[in-house]
Chains A and B, each alone.
Chain A
Amino acid sequence: MNQAYGVVAVTSVVVASGLIGALGLRISRTTSDFYVASRSVPPRLNAAAISGEYLSAASFLGIAGLVLSQGVDMLWVPVGYTAGYLVLLALVAAPLRRSGAYTLPDFAEARLESTVVRRITSILVVVVGWLYLVPQLQGAGLTLGLVTGAPGWTGALIVAIVVALSVAAGGMRSITFVQAFQYWLKLTALLVPALFLLLAWQGDPSARTALDEPPAFRDHTRVRVDDTVRVRVHEQLRVTVDGTVDGRAHQASVLLLQPGVHRVDTGTTLHFPVRARVAGRSEDTTAPARGSRGSDASPREDKGHSLYATYGLILATFLGTMGLPHVVVRFYTSPDGRAARRTTVVVLGLVGAFYLLPPLYGVLGRIYTPELLLTGNTDAVVLLLPERLIGGVAGDLLGALVAAGACAAFLSTASGLTMAVAGVLSQDVLPSPRTGYFRLASLIAVAVPLAVYTLVPGIPVAKAVGLAFAVSASSFCPLLVLGIWWRGLTAAGASAGLLTGGGAALTAVALTMTESVGTGWPRTLSAWPAVWSVPLAFLTMILVSLADRRGAPLHTDAIMARLHLPEPPANHSPAARGRRLTTDEDPTAGSPAP
């Protein structure tokens, strides 16, 4: 990748976002006309902002990587990421807006009138936010590493600093415009290169048939292994080795690898001949190598568990979206429940359109960047394809565009998340809310995931995000769905459910991240916890609430009415404004007083 172009692209994204954030409001909203000034955010703009904030590094880089490494089973990932909004639309969007809550803890307090539930929800929001921030930093490290050639952690550190500073300084004043801009940038950054890639692929005679065959090297390919891996060789393979294979050192010698699993040590360079079938990473867990972390629990490796894993993925993404802290706060911008619903419909369209593109990159990656299967760095496929397939200045420019999109992806999500986490931290977790605490909180909000990122590297981006979704689905989803649709929910029930579901999912996440579960079912169960933790959370909430019938909040009726009664239609069109007067009922003249 051409470094100069890439650096320019990434820098201009940061600068453009900063400028829109600082000046957007001043330019577009300074007026002396009240009608212009008090126009609320239209659903289209708000939807673009929600999509911009939502489409993270996992969407931009991760999905293509998963499709490349694990095939079409992973198409469920984009489907789930989109369909989450369908559930949100049907069950949550309008009542959540009508509740008047800005954050999830606000909703918990408004619905259950309990500060205990508020506290528990706050802590879970912070944890989910952190879990979601880790893969964003990972995406940042990956992208900036490829663009500048710097080691991964520098990129993550730079992005963490940029995000923390912009949030702490209260930059991003017109956050809606910034996020909407980021959505269109991300869409463009995937769409335009995709069109060129498709043309190049069409013009490549040998590539037509390659889709049906196992991935193979198209040229003499040199692969350098940066992290010790175990590779599975499917048929006899002649490679030139410079380094250590199976514990024996070689120096530029030709080696005939027999079918089976081989261990390649750090720093080894392998030269593959033309048309050699790609040796994929092996998940032979009888002797786990450090580098084997990664495409584990993949449905392809564990045939028996693939159906379960798919259901785990579907449940987590379908039900987890509604609990993402940075998504929830954006609904406050809608003027009423009706607008919130309309916004969600547009989000479904925008997000759905975007998710058509990443799988395309994954599929093309199977043909053109098969060596990523060996190095395990599959998340890089989106960034590498333009250069590989098109080349020249055009390839460099398209590569820079993709890098800009990736940069927008992790910047927007990371700043949205940091904002949400810092808000909750400063309000509910740190002692006594004061203005100064927000700066401290935004630093903590970024520092913790940065530390986790440096301690636990190497989980595929989309998978790490999946864990955040699982925790959200097993804690916030029951809280929101039961809170909105079941009047019997009590504070005790909600607390028990949040602790049980969230705690169980978090335990599973911790086990997965530290790799402390063996193989087979336990591993699969902890890698995809949603299947059992979501019903567990629902059940706990319902049972404890039933046992604690007397604990129902005092004003349940009033709250339920506020959540579900539609607002009167707004009357803000300029024609209607001030030109017509409706008669006002006189409360003293017999009509029922409001």
Chain B
Amino acid sequence: MNTLALAVSPTGTVLLVLCGAAAGLLAGAVLARRRVAVGGVGDSVEKATFRTLHTASLAAPPLRAGLTPDTARKAVRRLRPLLGSSALLLTDTDRVLAWGGSGEHHTDEVMQHARDVLGSGRAGVFTVDCAQEDCPVRAGVVVPLSVDQDLRGTLAAFGPEKSDALARATEEVARWVSVQLELAELDRARTSLIEAELRALRAQISPHFIYNSLAAIASFVRTDPERARGLLLEFAEFTRYSFRRHGDFTTLAEELRSIEQYLELERARFGTRLEVTLQIAPEVLPVALPFLCLQPLVENAVKHGLEGSARGSHIALTAEDEGSFARVVIEDNGIGMDPDRLRRILHGDGGPSSGIGLCNVDDRLRQVYGDEHGLVIETGVGAGMKVTVRIPKYRSGVHPAPR
């Protein structure tokens, strides 16, 4: 009994290991190809419909990335079985991008036809002379691909003889490809729009702040030149950071430095009326976040804290480690705000006077991290304001720009 177990188990282990390896390789192959088995029930018409739609849906993703040799190759591989032609090819305006099937030695000749088609803007049927007896590329159709009346390339299908069916089918497929290319164009336009929007949303430094800071510095030039020099340097550093063009993201540590410079300049104006308490968990200092997304919140807190109050203002800035998130809280003891008014401001219709900073920061945070990471604001009239931001420690695409 035991001897038997001994004899069997080595083989068993080897088998198990092999099975594991095979499973892994198989999974890799599936992931690499993402091939979906075509099957199912139904009569032949249903099957044919399903197969056609399925093929089209497989060919769509590569085309949605635009017309390049790589995407053309993938699309042709899917589309050729659909048409059943001996050769199917995609060209752009001056070369063949992908050739599926046989007869590739006709590339130059076909490209010549494609140029004619692109010149006229209308599909054409051509015959091809070939010395090779068994060459299946004898005649075919070349159809232009257009995006908004703009010709981008051609789709061509060739077979052993002229065929109306092939010509019509090719025209339909070409129309479908054109639609995909148009969608690709739309995708690109949308992406660049979002980017432009983000850039426009980057916080702007307020002209009032520049004026007030320079005036405050000027008042120190005679009485305390050393302080004036220091403030001027802070001002230079602050503007350099705020005006920088490259990179949409920074680190919490960098953002804190900018806040420090900002508060230093505000203190020059308001003196000891402005009090700040900081509690920053060192673990979250390297967290990447959108450039200038905390400084406007502090600016807001300063404004609210000092507005209509002679007793001075206190601002608390806290950053905590929350596992895979960092929680930043900015709290002031100022006049607060009516929650309804705040809601209007965050919706972007609070009037021109105030709250641009809050709304802007909220929009950018939502753009980058999604809606669940917008600002959380707790406030009431005369009750101060508490703004909470929850930032993920990692989000793909968010990397602080080098200093």
Q: Which residues of A contact B (CB under 8 A)?
A: 25-26, 29-34, 36-41, 100-103, 106, 109-110, 113, 116, 170, 173-176, 286, 332-336, 419, 422-423, 427, 433-434, 438, 490-493, 495-497, 499-501, 503-504, 507, 511, 517-522, 525-526, 532, 536, 540, 544, 547-548, 550-551, 562, 567-568, 571, 578-579, 581, 584, 587, 593-594
Contact = CB atoms under 8 A, between A and B. Distances in A.
Contacts of B237: 578, 581
Given A491-B31, A499-B24, A511-B16, 6 more contacts: A36-B278, A102-B394, A170-B322, A173-B281, A495-B28, A540-B24
Nearest to A565: B402
Contacts of B39: none
A171 B240 CA distance: 39
Given A333-B283, A427-B324, A525 B13 contact: yes
B6 A551 contact: no
Given A38-B280, A173-B281, A594 B245 contact: yes
B279 interface: yes
B275 A492 contact: no
A25 B236 CA distance: 33
B25 A544 contact: yes
Q: Mostly helix, strand, loop or mixed at chain A's interface?
A: helix
A504 B260 CA distance: 54
A320 to B, nearest CB: 19
Contact of B10 (A438, A522, A593): A522
Contacts of B403: 568, 571
A106 B281 CA distance: 22
The size class of the interface chain B forms with chain A is 35 or more
A115 to B, nearest CB: 9
A173 B10 CA distance: 51
Interface of B: 2, 5-6, 9-10, 12-13, 16-17, 20-21, 23-25, 27-29, 31-32, 70, 230, 233-234, 236-237, 240, 245-246, 253, 256-257, 259-261, 275-283, 285-286, 288, 320-324, 372, 393-394, 396, 398-400, 402-403
Nearest to B24: A500
A491 B10 CA distance: 34
Nearest to B288: A100
Contact of A41 (B28, B277, B282, B399): B282
A29 B281 contact: yes
6 contacts: A34-B256, A38-B257, A110-B394, A526-B13, A578-B261, A594-B246
Nearest to B286: A335
Contacts of A41: 282-283, 285
A67 B25 CA distance: 40
Given A30-B279, A101-B394, A517 B9 contact: yes
Nearest to A109: B396
Contact of A518 (B9, B260, B288, B322): B9
A403 to B, nearest CB: 30
Q: In the complex, which of the residues B12, B32, B402 has the most CB atoms of chain A within 10 Å of its own CB atom?
A: B32
B276 A32 contact: yes
A507 B288 CA distance: 39
Given A496-B28, A547-B32, A587-B245, A25 B230 contact: no
